[in-house]
Chain A
């Protein structure tokens, strides 16, 4: 059974602070996807990383895929209240399967 562990699970910070969310597994994934979910809505895809060691930047968000494709991180620079939400990482299993295994998520609150 493939599992993804996210840490921290909860984070409350002030506007302007930086933060990093970690997503770890003992399993190898063909790709790692990060989603953001707001209350009452479905997850919205932020980024997909597919190559070990890959780094992708999306404005103030930096995503990294571990060399062994077992872990990933999301770094947010100068957080803003609009970044508040549930951040989920999801792995697609090796072998071409498109089933996603989700972590429990990190609930981020950015206070003005």
Chain B
């Protein structure tokens, strides 16, 4: 049974560009959350999607947007990239109403130069 799958694993972008990261949740999970983890820090919540709608949002600017598809997969889009956006982006899935705990993917390492 596949866990959470993220693509790509690594990405290098130039400042000002736009990037799209993708996530397939674990089978049976319907809720997807995105986190940003800077080097040496714990993950920070970006937003959460359920039933194709953004349900919660963390303290991130509008340059960060997302989408959830009918098959529960999700995308994270970041526009006008800044050097400070360089981080590991983690996708986590869970089943709403199920037991507590998330399954995380291995992340996408984004480097902005």
Cα–Cα distance between A43 and B11 once the two chains are bound (Å): 20
Q: A42-B90, A43-B43 are known contacts. Are A99 and B48 too (CB-CB below 8 A)?
A: yes
Asked whether, in the complex, the Cβ of A100 is within 8 Å of the Cβ of B102, the reply is yes
Size bracket, chain A contacts: 20 to 34
User: Is B25 part of the binding interface, using a Cβ–Cβ cutoff of 8 Å?
Assistant: no
**Nearest-CB residue, chain B, relative to A88:** B42
How many interface residues does B have (CB within 8 Å)? 27
Q: How many A-B residue pairs have CB under 8 A?
A: 65
Interface centre among A6, A45, A92, A103 (most CB of B within 10 A): A45
B93-113: which have CB < 8 Å to A?
A: 94, 96, 99-107, 109
Q: Which listed residue (A44, A97, A98, A102) contacts B42, Cβ 8 A?
A: A102
How far apart are A30's CB and chain B's nearest CB, in angstroms?
8
Q: Given A48-B99, A97-B56, A104-B42, does the pair A42, B33 have CB atoms closer than 8 Å?
A: no
Q: Is B41 an interface residue (CB 8 A)?
A: yes
Within 8 A of A (CB), among B9-56: 31, 33, 35, 40-45, 48, 56
B contact residues vs A (CB 8 Å cutoff): 4, 31, 33, 35, 40-45, 48, 56, 58, 90, 92, 94, 96, 99-107, 109
List chain A positions with a Cβ less than 8 A from chain B: 4, 6, 31, 33, 35, 40-45, 48, 50, 88, 90, 92, 97-105
Known contacts A4-B42, A102-B42, then 6 further A-B pairs from the complex at CB < 8 Å, ordered by chain A residue: A6-B42, A42-B104, A42-B107, A97-B56, A99-B45, A104-B42
10 A-B residue pairings within 8 Å (CB atoms):
A6-B42, A40-B109, A42-B90, A42-B92, A45-B101, A48-B100, A98-B94, A100-B45, A102-B35, A102-B43
